[in-house]
Amino acid sequence: MSKIEFTPEHKRVIIQKIQGYFQDELDQDMGQFDAEFLLDFFSKEVGAYYYNQGLHDAQAMIEKQLESITDAIYEIEKPVAFTR
């Protein structure tokens, strides 16, 4: 898996959310540098778990859709008579 990269805008929003969390929940100020460092740490150390779960969720959804398509195909299948 390649390194998790965010657009500059997404990174800015995530950093603001980290700073807001620390302020609201922990009553601590966190500077932009520290919040960015924490984001990089979690992206590197935890990001793969979220990524893999997203892949598993997508795979389950695709399998469900394929099952539905298979059922739909069987429903429209025409009967045939085998004669010898």
The answer to whether residue 2 scores a pLDDT higher than 90 is no
Higher pLDDT, 2 or 11: 11
Q: What is the predicted pLDDT for the residue at 1?
A: 58
What is the biggest distance separating any 2 CA atoms in the chain, rounded to whole angstroms? 84
Query: Residues 20-58: pLDDT tens digits?
Result: 999 999 999 999 999 999 999 999 999 999 999 999 999
Q: What is the predicted pLDDT for the residue at 5?
A: 85
Q: What is the predicted pLDDT for the residue at 4?
A: 79
Residue partners of 47: CB distance under 8 A and separation at least 6: 4
The CB-side HSE value for 6 (13 A sphere, CA atoms) comes to 15
